[in-house]
Structure 1
């Protein structure tokens, strides 16, 4: 049987911009965003924040994540598992932050990721108070409150990200979609924030992706 076409065509990343797919639930995504933030601030590289749902990608009703039938954006806010409720809430808050400046959106996103993964106790992503705390000092809070209330608009924007990630075959976070079209998941064991080390790591990563050897998997034995 012929499968239906993906929800959205897999297009190359925007010219000169690397799309960075992440999930607020994932500590590896947090490290990947910290690395990208250093690269954008210190070295002028361009990254675009995109959302990918691990809950949706790994859901039992989506055996082929390229053709999902269960969508996170169709779920009722605050319901489902802790991960489902928390990730949906964080994604919608992230979409609201993206309506402000690029730097503000990055600051909010990193603040929320740090609250979840770097703080002594993991922040509760299902709690709107967690979203408001991350917004303080990073966003125009009045505008954030107004934008965060636009649930239909935020869900539509999130759906665009989830459709794009499904078309591309994203399966984990962080996944980088480079301007030339290369796309891959890269799992970071360490947090790298020193500018020189960050650039060295990114140079190595992109060289591996573009190398003619076409290395697809590197996994250390334990």
Structure 2
């Protein structure tokens, strides 16, 4: 399994993601510049990763300009053929802007940039995971029709919880509707999440919970 990490002007978590995948998970990583288009070295067994940061300075809307990069046209085609794609933080925003995932990411409810550890839970995991966040526009929003479809199809992969895995509004760091921290498409090949699992994959940082996130995506 290979991993391609797309680098946009303003990406600032691309090397964090490379280090986590390459050095902590021992994966083959290829860095992809946003102006390039070639994904011929990847198969649908591989992953394309859109990292966090502030692509194109977050002008217009977060991810709105990155969505039109030449590489993103290839990523969209790759995903439409069944290829696996993961977007983290700004990458999640790009996925929503590109239409690969439904909904949008709005400014945080408190109108402030939030940077701290939070807890997130997936129904298949026995415990909540402690994963860092760092974003100013992480409040997931969609209309009731979309939200109900996400619920019905089990597409909500992570919700913000307390440390014991309980849904609690006080544990929601940005006001995301229904405490949503991450979602996937119906085919379960495109994944987006606001928290940063790549910042929790080494004992040097005192946290290995991010490894569980990557394992959930079949990336271990």
- Band of TM-score, shorter chain: under 0.3
User: In proportion to residue count, which structure has more helix?
Assistant: 1
Q: Larger C-alpha radius of gyration, 1 or 2?
A: 1
TM-score normalized with structure 2 length: 0.24
TM-score normalized with structure 1 length: 0.24
